[in-house]
Amino acid sequence: MSYPTHLIKVNSRFYYKIKVPADLSHLFPSQFIKKSLHTSDLCAAKTMLKCHEFKTHNAFALLRTGTLATEYAQQVVNSLLPVPKTCRDIKQYRLSRVIGIYTEEKQTGWSDKTKLEVAGAFKLLVDILGDVDVTTITRPMLIELRSSLLKVPPSFYVKNPGKSVRKAIAENDGPGISTKTVNKYMSRIGSLLKYCQEQGMINTNPATGLQIAEKQRADQERSAYTGQPRLWMNLSYINLHGYRA
């Protein structure tokens, strides 16, 4: 049985499959875009096919304009790609679970010292921000986190087992951990959120460019923060009404 162009059937499920145009191939990780339509009904698949075709060809046209900044072009590309199964299985992308998957995947080859540094950075991240959904983490939140890290007493977990780090930050009138250490922690957090972006959990990495100079206080940036630019063409309105890849 033949099916419309770009509609294929694997076992009992229908998929949308289209070849990436040659002039855009450098933007995509593979030659084809293949997304499950999550149905075995041909009529439903044909309806979803039209939506996918409209969204995909509009995205191709937008990418061809050459007017998008790199991060926004990546957003458009990500909107066309299927979300990896390992990411779909993370309930609401809770921070603690994402950290666990990231660490398990990346720790091969890490030294014991690196493992301890990463664990310390991520523990502070969860203890200060809470076990939030990674999709809710914004740049202002990370700027506030950076300010809070500067007030964390040195060797906090070693010297204060069981004590709330938030309470310690609020009560600390003395020096906190060094700017160098804060920068290390922010770098680790940035790597985690970059991974989230690569896996399609978030569209952009809000932790980029948050390293601070040795004598700069983190709260100086807050007054200069004016919000992130918006993607001038949002493709989400044709995201198949909640159908997942």
Whether 93 and 173 map to the same domain: the answer is yes
Whether 57 and 170 map to the same domain: the answer is no
Whether 52 and 132 map to the same domain: the answer is no
Count of structural domains, the chain: 2
Q: Is 143 domain-assigned?
A: yes
Kindly give the confidence (pLDDT) of every residue in the chain, 245 residues in length, as a single tens digit, with 9 standing for 90 and above: 788 999 999 988 899 999 999 999 998 888 999 988 888 889 888 988 998 899 899 999 999 998 888 778 888 888 888 766 555 444 568 888 889 888 988 888 888 888 888 888 898 899 998 888 888 889 898 999 999 999 998 888 888 888 888 888 988 888 888 999 999 999 999 999 999 888 888 888 898 888 887 665 444 444 444 444 444 344 444 444 444 44
Whether 104 and 34 map to the same domain: the answer is no
**Which domain, by its residues, includes 64?**
7-82+233-242
- CA distance linking residue 28 with residue 37, whole number of Å: 20
- Confidence at residue 61, expressed as pLDDT on a 0 to 100 scale: 92
Whether 108 and 60 map to the same domain: the answer is no
Report residue 224 CA to chain centroid gap: 24
Q: Is 220 domain-assigned?
A: no
- CA distance linking residue 110 with residue 114, whole number of Å: 6
Q: What is the CATH number of the domain that holds 145?
A: 1.10.150.130
Whether 45 and 120 map to the same domain: the answer is no
Q: Is 223 domain-assigned?
A: no
Please report, as a single letter, which amino acid is at residue 57: H
- Confidence at residue 83, expressed as pLDDT on a 0 to 100 scale: 64
**Residues 6 or more apart whose Cβ sits within 8 Å of residue 195:** 102, 106
Contacts from 236-243 at CB under 8 Å and sequence distance 24+? 236/79, 238/51, 238/54, 238/55, 238/58, 239/55, 239/79, 240/48, 240/51, 240/52, 240/55, 243/37, 243/38, 243/48
Whether 57 and 97 map to the same domain: the answer is no
Whether 33 and 122 map to the same domain: the answer is no
Q: Is 167 domain-assigned?
A: yes
Whether 61 and 122 map to the same domain: the answer is no
Whether 74 and 104 map to the same domain: the answer is no
Token code pair at residue 104: 């398990």
Whether 72 and 96 map to the same domain: the answer is no
- Confidence at residue 19, expressed as pLDDT on a 0 to 100 scale: 94
CB atoms within 10 A of CB 104: 9
Whether 76 and 97 map to the same domain: the answer is no
Q: Is the distance from CB of 83 to CB of 244 less than 8 angstroms?
A: yes
Task: Report the predicted TM-score, pTM, of the whole model to 2 decimal places.
Answer: 0.52
